[in-house]
Amino acid sequence: MNCEEIIRLISGYLDDDIDDLMRDMLERHFEECERCLSLLHTMEKTISFSRELNKRKKVPETVIRKVYWEVRIRYKK
């Protein structure tokens, strides 16, 4: 799995919306890839913050899109 695929799966991972095999693959990737691990932490923070604001279980699509956008900029540097 490459980083692009991981990024696409992270929101599902945080929402507990992927199967165990995928979860395993992601966790293995996070152990090896500092970039994706720091992205995971960024998303965790952003998502828990927006959850508190919205008192909702699911993360609004706009929040996820915003994080992706920030990530894309960071990856380009």
**Contacting residue, 33, 42, 50, 60, with Zn ion by CB under 5 A:** 33
- Cα gap 21→7, rounded to integer Å: 16
Q: Is 36 exposed, middle or buried (0-12, 13-18, 19+ CB in 10 A)?
A: buried
Select the span of 3-11, 18-26, 48-56, 61-69 touching Zn ion (CB under 5 A).
3-11
In this structure, are residues 7 and 39 in contact, taking their beta carbons and an 8 Å threshold?
yes
25 in contact with Zn ion (CB under 5 A): no
Select the span of 15-23, 27-35, 42-50, 59-67 touching Zn ion (CB under 5 A).
27-35
Q: Which residues bind Zn ion (CB under 5 A)?
A: 3, 33, 36
